[in-house]
Chain A
Amino acid sequence: MTVHLQNSLWKLRTSSNALYKSVYRRCFSTQDVIEHRNRLFNNEQKRQKDNVGRIEKIEVRYLGLPSNETLIMNKNLSTPFNCAQHFSEAVCENAVLALINGKKLWDIHRPLEESCTLQLLHFKSQDPNLVNQAFWRTCSFLLGGVLQRILKENTGLHLHSFPYPSLKSGSFVHDISLNVDNWNPSAQDLKSMSIEMMKFATENHNIERLEVSHEIALEMFKDNPFKREQLPNISNQNKGVITLYRAGDHIDISKGPMISSTKYISKVKIPSVHKITKEDSNLYRVQGIALPSGFTLSAYAFDILGQRAKRLNTMYLPVESADPIHSDEAPSMQQRI
């Protein structure tokens, strides 16, 4: 589809919504859907930045190496990454996730809203559990993007959701729906999937966060029946605000937080895909394992993890036939995202 056509469609959309819908459904491929989503995302991001208006200053107290410092930053513009830039390149590289006021997790590329203390977290810090979870969540999130890239259009791919990250379950997962009945990917397919994910990681995208209103989110995910279902519940809980994340051109709903960039993902393996529903609907669970950069593991040890991730991960299954052991712990649908 040419740029010209896209522009005309954009105009069409703004003029009459109903007509646009019919056209959209007929001639928009998944690629076009993604582009449309990104355009909306960009517009909203720009709008929010413009709304900041007069720049106010906040005091950020930085704790950590090389030394504790107080920095004067811009409200709603400066991010923790900007703070790290004041120190050195090494500090920037090691900043994966921020901790604000010693309690709240904050994305590295999310603008700071008020004066606070700031700590930067890394995979190898003393207690990296929070970072590990953010990493695991990011992997799930990216897996959705990879599947969108790699699967053919006639498969009817719709991303369902990805659950709360659980390292102990042994794999990160992403649930998808297809119009294929019994998809049994070969070893080569799985391998190409993990290679695609590695490629995605090496593209080195910063992961952006954006809070949008319910309407815009609905507009973005109107082609996805599952998201359409989930959105009202989420917006009710969060006072009409929905959090979106973007890496490259892939956008999804998630509560966050996530790590700062895709470049921290070094070793990926996608060992299995399981069908998790019965015949009426085709929900699949794609499972994978990954390690952040700077972590080495022998091929044999990594294979042990891969073998374990082959089994179905029963954490927070979206259907009711979930494993009864985990049913108590499983949060509701809204919490899962």
Chain B
Amino acid sequence: MFPSSSIMSSLKAVTRVSANLFHTTAINNEVRLLTRLRVVDNSEIGKRAMMEGKPPKTIHVYNQKKVGFIGDKVMVAIKGQKKKGILVGMKQMQKPKTPRFDTNNVVLIDDNGTPLGTRIFVPIPTILRTILKEKTRSKGADYTKLLAIASRFV
């Protein structure tokens, strides 16, 4: 009634291979603790850090998984200071129709969600418009201000 064990045993090999290919480590280009990011706005501190070749390090991701996804808030260590930022471009694999960037991009913000800079150099994904709107609470930080300084959407 059910297929012979030979087929099942041969299928084992397939599962073994796929299990090996599936990583959850840094090779997957995830934003985790101590990941270097690229600041893509024109804030003073960000610009200087990037110019000096000391890009910011992630020291905290504000979500349950401790892995940063697009639109997540992170805390970075930059120029000896602690700053907050929003992830606006990810290096890791994305769902269909969502762009994937060559670098992990961050835009620095303050506690109210106001960006430190006045312009974003690189394109940001359109899906951020929805994500940031969802994340904005009426009495909390307003992240949508970030969208206003974006130069281009992808």
A and B touch in the complex (CB under 8 A): no
